[in-house]
Amino acid sequence: MELKICHLYPEVLNLYGDRGNILCLQKRLEWRGIPCEVTSLKIGEKADLSQFDLFFIGGGQDFEQEVLLGDLRAGKGAEIRAAIEDGRTFLCICGGYQMLGHYYQTADGVKCEFLGAVDLYTVGARERMIGNYAFRLGEESGGSVVVGFENHSGKTYLGQGVLPLGTVMKGYGNNGEDQTEGVRYKNVFGSYSHGPILPKNPLLCDVILESALTRKYGSASLEPLPDAFEVRAHETVLERVMGS
């Protein structure tokens, strides 16, 4: 077994240590003796995306999201849509998550036409949604509790029948209105959670890895790791978030 990971737009979409998600994916594979290779793909760089099993896209400011629109239109957008429909695994955070939807209308009135790979759209609000937060994953994503940090102006709304990644326990999530957080579509995991999300939510990391391994090899069951420190970090943050 092995996984090929593609880090899309690392030079523009990497807020609040989002790259730590790549390190976490790598480490949790390595600790189980599963090799993995990470390829970074920047604006203007081309590669056959069908060679990758797992994609990561981090968050970015409005300006940075606008900067990569041309590159999406030049071909990568169509390839990303095809990879999603083909069941490849994606973890997309904040600005990267918004990019999956139809569009992002910024609070300054700029309309970014995005991928339309998942039925959702985002509208910028004047008041930013900032803070540590917690949500419970849907059953299809393992049902565990996730802690994270959000900082966005965009309010995301899911199309009818589109599953959120989870339900907000504390904080704003997609829009601060309907208790939804993120999206789960096929093997796409979209979330507003920076921080990065995976090191302090190892159960989610393993669900994501298993989705990529299952797609590639038909089935996958990862052996448990001694996660004492990760669990302590998770529980400490959760106590603080829920107590605040």
Using CB positions, name the residue nearest to ligand GLN. Answer: 59
Which spans of this chain sit near ligand GLN (rule: CB under 6 A)? 15, 59-62, 65, 94-95, 151-154
CB of 94 to ligand GLN, least distance (A): 3
CB of 207 to ligand GLN, least distance (A): 22
Quick one: CA torsion of 194, 198, 204, 210, rounded to 10 degrees?
Answer: 130
What the block records as the tokens of 48 is 């056959």
Cβ-based nearer residue to ligand GLN, 26 or 151:
151
Cβ-based nearer residue to ligand GLN, 15 or 168:
15
Catalytic residue among 6, 36, 94, 112: 94
* C-alpha 241 chain-centroid distance: 21
Cβ-based nearer residue to ligand GLN, 105 or 179:
105
Q: Is 94 a catalytic residue?
A: yes
Q: Which helix (H) or strand (E) holds 38?
A: strand 36-41
CB of 165 to ligand GLN, least distance (A): 16
Q: Is 6 a catalytic residue?
A: no
Cβ-based nearer residue to ligand GLN, 4 or 128:
128
What the block records as the tokens of 134 is 């917690």
Cβ-based nearer residue to ligand GLN, 130 or 231:
130
CB of 155 to ligand GLN, least distance (A): 8
Any residues with CB less than 8 A from the CB of 92 and at least 6 apart, and which? 55, 56, 57, 99, 100, 188, 189, 190, 191
Instruction: Report the DSSP pairing between strands 36-41 and 3-8.
Output: parallel
* C-alpha 151 chain-centroid distance: 14
Q: What backbone phi and psi angles, to 5 degrees, belong to 223?
A: -70, 145
Any residues with CB less than 8 A from the CB of 139 and at least 6 apart, and which? none
Which of the residues are catalytic?
94, 194
